[in-house]
Amino acid sequence: MRSAIATAIVAVAMMLPGASPASPIAHAACRAHYTSATIGGSHKCLHAGEYCARRYERQYVRYGYECSTIYSPPRLKRR
């Protein structure tokens, strides 16, 4: 009887979410001359000439870039 209760308690404890402290997600460092940014909810390393998406134009501007459409596909350009 006691082992059944102990097994049930362990099973319930394993199903509960862990109480871990809230910590920010560590982003990988970008290489020299790249800008660390959060674009579309994920970490990106921005640099002139990289591919970009027009839908994130406002976010690129926040980091000093613009998505130039004179190229196909569009590329980042310094503002």
Return the pLDDT at 21: 45
Return the pLDDT at 15: 61
Residue 49 tokens read as 């000439």
CA 66, 69, 70, 72 dihedral sign is positive
What is the C-alpha separation between 76 and 46, in angstroms, rounded? 8
Return the pLDDT at 44: 95
CB contact at 8 A, 31 and 45? yes
- Each as own residue / partner, the long-range contacts of residues 41-44 (CB below 8 Å, 24 or more positions apart, any chain) are none
Distance in Å from the first CA to the final CA of the chain: 72
In this predicted model, what pLDDT tens digit does every residue of 20-79 receive, in sequence order? Answer: 444 455 567 899 999 999 999 999 999 999 999 999 999 999 999 999 999 899 999 999
